[in-house]
Amino acid sequence: MENEAGRCEISELKQVEGEASCSSRKGKLIFFYEWNIKLAWKGMVKESGAKHKGLIEIPSLSEENEVDDTEVNVSKKKGDGDILKDLMKTTGTAKVREALGEYLKALKTEFTTGMILPTKAVATQELPVERKLTENTLQVQASPVALGVRIPTVALHLTELFDTTVEQLYSIFTVKDLVQKFSKSPAVLEAEKGGKFQMFDGNITGEYVELLTNKKIIMKWRCRNWPEEHYATVALNFVPAPGQTELQLDCKGVPVCKEENTKFCWQKQHFEEIKGLLQLTTQNA
């Protein structure tokens, strides 16, 4: 934050206490969160060069208030420097609220990726799916794991049968229009070796490593809320079966804490949606 009188910056995240949770109830996602956050700031008066420090306290970031109404308290250590405090109370407070808004946006998009959502057939049933985000997890997300840090990972192996040909199933993973139909969202697709892809509004990204037409796809694959620059290796093998195609998925390098979410993502957001698309295609035919 800077004006003609001085310059300030947030220097430290001193405290994060609380939790957030997301539940699926009767076909709707319900969010609950309450956080107590303390930040340190420092600044310098341009005319004199004097330096000052202070705190920003957010006693209650919760779903009960809009971000613009969230209480943000700015304080300064003893001495002069009220010019800097005023800068933090105006521009600084606005920037803090902007950052809180980005967190809430991420909570409602990235954090829910892979949740089991009800299908039309069970839309009236209550699905007690709940995920919680503790203060420790928030701090990890606020400071992504540095490159080179070893991340505990697991491998997944899933198989699924589809009532379609190998050629049709392979095309669903490599043709942009078909990817957009089963994902129900915009996609970017370059189905060639070294080509990039982006799905589910950017929540899934990666790169094609190898493509053997109608036989195998190998790709680097990640969710947006994984540690920065960390990718799993996904191999899709398309195996012909009488009247069907068996899809064999091997996924290596999944962060341990994201194992269940990744399973849900493939089983619910990929496999089930692809079967729905194939059924619709058959009916139209």
The model's pLDDT over 180-216, given as tens digits with 9 standing for 90+, comes to: 999 999 999 999 999 999 999 899 999 999 999 999 9
Phi, psi for 193 (deg, rounded to 5): -60, 125
Residue 225 has pLDDT above 90, yes or no: no
Pairing of the two strands 188-189 and 216-223 = unpaired
Contacts of 108 (CB under 8 A, 6+ apart): 29, 31
d(CA 24, CA 118): 8
Pairing of the two strands 73-76 and 129-134 = unpaired
- The size of the chain, in residues, is 285
Structural domains of the chain, ranges and CATH numbers in brackets: 2-110 (3.15.10.20), 153-284 (3.30.530.20)
Q: pLDDT category, 110, cuts 50, 70, 90?
A: low
User: What integer pLDDT is reported at residue 229 of this predicted model?
Assistant: 84
Share of the chain above pLDDT 90, in %: 54
User: What integer pLDDT is reported at residue 111 of this predicted model?
Assistant: 61
pLDDT tens by residue, 7-63: 999 999 999 988 887 766 655 667 778 889 999 999 999 988 889 999 999 998 888
Average pLDDT over residues 78-103: 88
Residue 158 or residue 139, greater confidence:
158
By the 8 A CB rule, do 41 and 10 touch?
yes
Q: pLDDT category, 113, cuts 50, 70, 90?
A: low
Average pLDDT over residues 79-92: 87
- Two tokens, residue 138: 């928030």
* Identity of the residue numbered 129: V
By the 8 A CB rule, do 119 and 208 touch?
no
User: What integer pLDDT is reported at residue 79 of this predicted model?
Assistant: 74
The three-state secondary structure class of 77 is coil
Cα angle 101, 231, 166; round to 5: 110
Nearest to 274 by CA among 172, 191, 171: 172
Contacts of 28 (CB under 8 A, 6+ apart): none
Highest mean pLDDT among 109-123, 129-143, 157-171: 157-171
User: What integer pLDDT is reported at residue 62 of this predicted model?
Assistant: 84
- Two tokens, residue 204: 């899934």
Q: Hey, what's the torsion of the CAs at 122, 123, 124, 127, to 10 degrees?
A: 80
Query: End-to-end distance of the chain based on CA atoms, in angstroms?
Result: 60
The three-state secondary structure class of 83 is helix
Residue 130 or residue 168, greater confidence:
168
Share of the chain above pLDDT 70, in %: 82
pLDDT tens by residue, 53-70: 999 999 988 887 888 888
Average pLDDT over residues 132-141: 44
Mean confidence (pLDDT) of the chain? 83
d(CA 96, CA 75): 14
Listed range (74-78, 160-164, 219-223) with the worst mean pLDDT: 74-78
Residue 125 has pLDDT above 90, yes or no: no
User: What integer pLDDT is reported at residue 23 of this predicted model?
Assistant: 65
Q: How many CB atoms lie within 10 A of CB 82?
A: 12
